[in-house]
């Protein structure tokens, strides 16, 4: 497969036709058409449906474009850096998907410091708790809490935390095994007991949902207001515990929290992605660890 013909095919596919690709690139329409035909002949596949003014990728064309678009963009970025003698310089737009809690507590400060260090990078952060698709939604990095094993993604754990069961002082600690008024995340089941450890002893409580909320920050606020007990990361409630606004009922057994910065392994790792992942690890030096 010839790299130049593949690049021209992606140019045509990106702009939705030979005429539009020609106008955008300054390349002759006939040249682009010939290059795409050469690629089709070398592969023995039809990549475009041609007819009148219609333009449509075949199924094979769609697969080829989806698998090579990001790769060619990364190669172009590296080539530009090498040509300018700045191969180690991070530049370009960095698209990040970030969970709500991390976004509200740390992302703004971190993003501001990162662009101060790397002024040629523009950061775009989308805040949501759903599992985004890096390739389909064109993200460079996703930040995820306790991500499942995934052979498609690689990265580093840069922050570790521990879940606690906490409650306002007005809520008396119930006897072991008793039902507990609980503030839960909307996606959390109230049929699973809370197993905690405190003072070298283990306890079990049965959460009974009085509130279900979509944000962990709202869960904390409701717990502070005395609505019920809640399971929250220690970093979020550290000051509340120190000031006596909340009481720690114990550490959740198997409640270890790991926050990872992940990117896809199918693409070349660009300098901006490498720089950002390392930056996060440097920001939390006591927590960072390799893959």
Q: What is the mean pLDDT of residues 123-140?
A: 85
User: Nearest Cα to 94, choosing from 135, 138, 124?
Assistant: 124
Per-residue pLDDT, averaged over 187-206, amounts to 84
Span 142-165, average pLDDT:
85
CATH class of 92-151+261-283: alpha beta
pLDDT recorded at residue 88? 55
Question: What is the rounded distance in angstroms from the CA atom of residue 227 to the CA atom of residue 211?
Answer: 8
The architecture in CATH of the region 162-257 reads: 3-Layer(aba) Sandwich (3.40)
Confidence of residue 154 (pLDDT cuts 50, 70, 90): confident
d(CA 10, CA 76): 12
Does domain 3-83 fall under CATH 1.10.10.10? My reply is yes
Out of 66-70, 155-159, 182-186, least confident range: 66-70
pLDDT (0 to 100) of residue 290 = 38
Burial of 170 (0-12, 13-18, 19+ CB in 10 A): exposed
Domains 92-151+261-283 and 162-257 share a fold: yes
H or E segment at 231?
A: strand 230-233
Q: What is the pLDDT of residue 276?
A: 93
What is the model's pLDDT at position 3?
Answer: 80
Query: What is the reported pLDDT for 117?
Result: 93
Report if pTM > 0.85.
Answer: no
- Give the model's confidence band at 123: pLDDT under 50 very low, under 70 low, under 90 confident, else very high: very high
CA 94 to chain centroid: 12
Q: Per-domain residue ranges for the chain?
A: 3-83, 92-151+261-283, 162-257
Q: Tens digits of per-residue pLDDT, 76-114? A: 766 665 555 444 568 889 999 998 888 888 999 999 999
């Amino acid at each position: 497969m010839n790299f130049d013909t593949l690049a021209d095919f992606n140019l045509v596919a990106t702009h939705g036709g030979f005429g539009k690709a020609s106008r955008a690139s300054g390349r002759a329409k006939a040249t682009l058409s010939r290059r795409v035909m050469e690629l089709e002949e070398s592969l023995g596949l039809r990549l475009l449906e041609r007819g009148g003014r219609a333009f449509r990728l075949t199924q094979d064309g769609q697969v080829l474009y989806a698998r090579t678009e990001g790769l060619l963009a990364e190669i172009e970025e590296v080539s530009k850096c090498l040509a300018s003698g700045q191969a180690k310089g991070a530049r370009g737009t960095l698209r990040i998907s970030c969970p709500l809690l991390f976004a509200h507590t740390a992302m703004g400060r971190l993003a501001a410091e990162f662009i101060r260090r790397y002024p040629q990078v523009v950061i775009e952060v989308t805040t949501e708790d759903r599992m985004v698709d890096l390739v389909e939604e064109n993200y460079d990095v996703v930040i995820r809490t306790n991500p499942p094993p995934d052979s498609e993604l690689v990265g580093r754990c840069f922050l570790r935390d521990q879940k606690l069961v906490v409650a306002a002082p007005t809520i008396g600690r119930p006897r072991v095994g008793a039902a507990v008024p609980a503030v839960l995340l909307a996606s959390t089941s109230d049929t699973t007991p809370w197993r905690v450890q405190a003072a070298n002893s283990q306890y079990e409580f049965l959460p009974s949902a009085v509130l279900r909320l979509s944000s962990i920050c709202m869960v904390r606020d409701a717990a502070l207001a005395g609505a019920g007990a809640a399971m929250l990361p220690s970093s979020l409630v550290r000051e509340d515990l120190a000031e006596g606004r909340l009481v720690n009922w114990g550490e959740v057994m198997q409640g270890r929290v790991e926050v990872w910065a992940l990117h896809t392994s199918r693409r070349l790792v660009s300098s901006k992605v490498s720089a950002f992942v390392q930056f996060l690890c440097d920001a939390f030096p006591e927590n960072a660890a390799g893959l």
